C-alpha cells in the first residue's frame, strides 16, 4: 500500500522512527492567522498526531492575501471552524482540537510537546514567552511585518523574547497592521516555524535554541544570530 508520507520517510534524518515520534506529538498553535495557517497546514499534512488551535477571530477579506488556508467563502465565518474544516480535509488522520478564546496562561499545559506562537500582537507574545518560561514549556517565537520575518526556538536554558527585545523597546517593533505585510514573507516565516517544530519533535537534541533567524524577502538576506541569555531573565536558569 502506498504510504502518504513516502517522500518524507526517505529523508535520512526523518525515516520511519522520526515519523513515528512526530505522529506521537501534540502541539499548541496560538493564533491561526497568517503564520498559523502555514504552521498548521504544514504540520497537519506532514502527519502530526494531534494539534490544538487557539483563536477568536472571524475571517476577513483582508486576510486572504496572506492567510493561505482561507478562501472567499470563509469570509465572515469563524476562523477556527473554517481552518479545522480545511485541515481535516487535507489529512483525516490528525486529531484537531480548537479553543475559541483569547490567549491566557491557563491554556498552557505540559500535555503539549511544544507551543508555537503565531500571534501578531506583541503584548500577547511577551505574555506567552513569560508563561512558557515559567511553566517550563518550550516554544517557537515568530513574527513578520513588511518584508522581514524572525523566528527563534526558545527553551528554559536559551535566550527568550525578553532577552532578544527588552519589553521597554516594544514600540520599535513593527506591526503588520500598520506597516503592511508582504504575503510571501508570511509563508517563509510560518514555514520556518513549522520546520523547527518538525525537527524538534523528531530530534530534540539537535535543535538550536536561542538562535534568531532573520529573513528578508525583498533584499533576500538570510541571517542566523546567536542571542545571549540575559542574567536573571525569565525561566530562572
Binding site for Zn ion (CB under 5 A): 160, 162-163, 233
Residue 34 Cβ, how far from Zn ion at the closest point, in Å? Answer: 26
For Zn ion, the closer of residues 18 and 210 by Cβ is 210
How far is 121 from 98, CA to CA, in rounded Å? 20
Kindly state the DSSP code that residue 83 receives in the 8-state scheme.
H
Burial 17-44 (b: 16+ CB within 10 A, else e): ebbeebbebbbbbbbbbbbbbbbbbbbb
How far is 198 from 21, CA to CA, in rounded Å? 10
Q: Is 113 helix (H, G, I), strand (E, B) or coil?
A: coil
Residue 230 Cβ, how far from Zn ion at the closest point, in Å? Answer: 5
For Zn ion, the closer of residues 117 and 162 by Cβ is 162
How far is 147 from 163, CA to CA, in rounded Å? 23
Give the nearest residue (CB) to Zn ion. 233
For Zn ion, the closer of residues 124 and 184 by Cβ is 124
Q: Are strands 148-154 and 139-145 parallel, antiparallel or unpaired?
A: antiparallel
For Zn ion, the closer of residues 154 and 186 by Cβ is 154
**If you search the block for the grid coordinates 498553535, which residue do you land on?**
29
How far is 103 from 97, CA to CA, in rounded Å? 15
Residue 54 Cβ, how far from Zn ion at the closest point, in Å? Answer: 23
For Zn ion, the closer of residues 87 and 163 by Cβ is 163
Residue 220 Cβ, how far from Zn ion at the closest point, in Å? Answer: 30
Residue 103 Cβ, how far from Zn ion at the closest point, in Å? Answer: 19
Amino acid at each position: 500500500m502506498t504510504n502518504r508520507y513516502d517522500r518524507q520517510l526517505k529523508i535520512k534524518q526523518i525515516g520511519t522512527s522520526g515519523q513515528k515520534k512526530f505522529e506521537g506529538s501534540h502541539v499548541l498553535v496560538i493564533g491561526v492567522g497568517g503564520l498559523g495557517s502555514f504552521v498548521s497546514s504544514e504540520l497537519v499534512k506532514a502527519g502530526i498526531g494531534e494539534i490544538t488551535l487557539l483563536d477568536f477571530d472571524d475571517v476577513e477579506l483582508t486576510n486572504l492575501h496572506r492567510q493561505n488556508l482561507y478562501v472567499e467563502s470563509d469570509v465572515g465565518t469563524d476562523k477556527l471552524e473554517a481552518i479545522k474544516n480545511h485541515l481535516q480535509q487535507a489529512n483525516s488522520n490528525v486529531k484537531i482540537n480548537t479553543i475559541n478564546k483569547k490567549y491566557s496562561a491557563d491554556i498552557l499545559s505540559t500535555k503539549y510537546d511544544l507551543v508555537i506562537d503565531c500571534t501578531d500582537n506583541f503584548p500577547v507574545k511577551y505574555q506567552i514567552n513569560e508563561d512558557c518560561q515559567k511553566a517550563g514549556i518550550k516554544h517557537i517565537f515568530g513574527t513578520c511585518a513588511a518584508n522581514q520575518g524572525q523566528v527563534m526556538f526558545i527553551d528554559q536554558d536559551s535566550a527568550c523574547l525578553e532577552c532578544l527585545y527588552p519589553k521597554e523597546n516594544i514600540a520599535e517593533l513593527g506591526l503588520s497592521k500598520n506597516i503592511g505585510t508582504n504575503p510571501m514573507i508570511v509563508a517563509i516565516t510560518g514555514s520556518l516555524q513549522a520546520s523547527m517544530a518538525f525537527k524538534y519533535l523528531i530530534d530534540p537534541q539537535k535543535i538550536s535554541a536561542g538562535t534568531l533567524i532573520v529573513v528578508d524577502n525583498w533584499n533576500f538576506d538570510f541571517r542566523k544570530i546567536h542571542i545571549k541569555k540575559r542574567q536573571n531573565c525569565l525561566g530562572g536558569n
